[in-house]
Structure 1
Amino acid sequence: MPSKSDDQETPPSEKPHYHGHRERLRERFHGAGPDALSDYELLEMALFAALPRRDTKPLAKSLLKKFGSFAEVIHAPEARLREVEGVGDASITQIKLIAAAATRVAKGQVQQRTALSSWNDVIDYCRTSMAFADKEQFRILFLDKRNQLIADEVQQVGTVDHTPVYPREVIKRALELSATAIILVHNHPSGDPTPSQADIQMTKAIVAIAQPLGISVHDHIIVGKNGHASLKGLRLI
């Protein structure tokens, strides 16, 4: 069965009505910068390469209407993207390429700096990587004695509302990496980052095992579409 096609051929005798519009968008992007463009215009431009013979504005608006924001579009599951009329393989490849690039850039920023002196970068990276995932992920940032990032690992992937976490496995991995501190991170696919009782109990269990071994748990950050929560900031650990 042939794959779904994004594009329709334009008769060679017809000049696409959106030709001038694309040029004007490009001029604004280069002249005034990306902040001068709305979410739908930026998404529209991002789809130019995938859909060279189609007006991408209606598709960009449909995607934003369904998912809510530029970030939610690029991090939406592939199956849900395909529910939008006009989205095919080329569009999905382009959208997921943007998502991968955003994550790669954010990860690079964290790794190039001292993690705790650039807390906003840590939060931005965690939100970029996890806030829009459709399943829970439990991630650990392992730090050395200077609070430099040694490793960033996804330890577990769960269901839409639960991820199994084993405190002893977390600390075992910290010892293997010679980490002296860790930051725990997980996402709530519901969008609400409010910590549950299970989140609090699990964090306290990890702290209890880590402390006698000289490993600090700097924080447990929960991210969601609606923001983030810090257990340390909430004085829950």
Structure 2
Amino acid sequence: MKVFLMSKRSAKDFDIDCIGHRNRLRDRFLQGGDSALADYEILELILFKLIPRRDTKSIAKALLKRFITLGGVFGAPLHLLQEIEGIGKTAALELKLISVASQRILKSKLINQKILNSWSTLLDYCKITLAHEEREQFRILFLNKHDVLIADEIQSRGTIDHVPVYLREIVYRCLELSASSIILVHNHPSGNPNPSNADIGMTQNIISTLTPLNITVHDHIIIGKDEFVSFKGLRII
């Protein structure tokens, strides 16, 4: 009986301490904004509602230890998030929704904008969308004659080090959308964004096929974990 009372009192004391800590974090955020908090503390604030009766500081630190950055945490696959002690299916899903919301926000900034004048936003969108994918993904941004985004589509998904590219499908989709130009984007899950000979050859094949149709390939962007490469920047195209 005595042990039971001690356990109950300890749980109550933990709740009081936890509430006090969470209130202090919220106050710091309200007064100083995001710069007043470390990355793990921002994660703590998010996890408070998802995991109400746990020490979320240790969970937040474990997430960052595994995935390195906030972007890595939010971009991590559901099954890897759930490998962290304290992160269940619901919490993992909520963290992924934050990533999806961020992607939608950035994409909304590209709508009805001249993409070539919004390059920084485009790169941010590509990074948050592709940097943490486990498999290669080949995307195409289709633009009209005013360089305004018509469509952003996944053309194909591949393995950890290869993605198939179907030239006939690219041509068909460009004509179907009446696209005047495109931007090619794919990721390297290895983290190294440097183009392979296959990447360069594939890009040149696409350009040589689309040029007679008066469709311009503005760039091919490869997204790594922390860096990106632009074929135009490298003067490959």
- When normalised by structure 2's length, the TM-score is 0.92
Structure 1 ranges of 4+ moved more than 3 A: 9-16
Q: Is the 8 A contact 2:78 2:93 kept in 1?
A: no
Partner of 2:175: 175
Q: Output the CA distance in 2 between the equivalents of 1:79 and 1:148.
A: 37
Question: What CA RMSD, in Å, does the superposition of the two structures yield over aligned residues?
Answer: 1.6
Give the helix-richer structure, 1 or 2. 2
Q: Output the CA distance in 2 between the equivalents of 1:184 and 1:61.
A: 36
Higher alpha-carbon Rg: 2
Bigger RCO of structures 1 and 2 (CA < 8 A, at least 6 apart): 1
Unaligned runs of at least 5 residues, structure 1: 1-8
Unaligned runs of at least 5 residues, structure 2: 1-7
Q: Output the CA distance in 2 between the equivalents of 1:49 and 1:10.
A: 23
Q: Is the 8 A contact 1:168 1:209 kept in 2?
A: no
Q: Output the CA distance in 2 between the equivalents of 1:85 and 1:231.
A: 41
Partner of 2:55: 55
Partner of 1:119: 119
Aligned: 1:76 with 2:76: yes
- When normalised by structure 1's length, the TM-score is 0.92
Q: Output the CA distance in 1 between the equivalents of 2:114 and 2:168.
A: 26
Aligned residues: 229
CA positional deviation for 1:148: 0.4
Q: Output the CA distance in 1 between the equivalents of 2:35 and 2:204.
A: 42
Map 1:1-237 onto structure 2 (within 5 A): 13-14=12-13, 15-237=15-237
Q: Output the CA distance in 1 between the equivalents of 2:97 and 2:148.
A: 28
DSSP-derived class of the 2:228 partner: strand
CA positional deviation for 1:212: 0.4
Q: Output the CA distance in 2 between the equivalents of 1:173 and 1:10.
A: 66
DSSP-derived class of the 1:83 partner: coil
DSSP-derived class of the 1:159 partner: coil
DSSP-derived class of the 1:48 partner: helix
Over 3 Å counting, the alpha-carbon distance change for 1:88 and 1:181 in structure 2 is same
Q: Output the CA distance in 1 between the equivalents of 2:210 and 2:217.
A: 7
Percent identity among equivalent residues?
51
CA positional deviation for 1:151: 0.4
Q: Output the CA distance in 2 between the equivalents of 1:128 and 1:82.
A: 21
CA positional deviation for 1:11: 8.0
List per-residue Cα deviations over 1:95-128 (Å, max 9, x = no partner). 1111111111111112142111010011000001
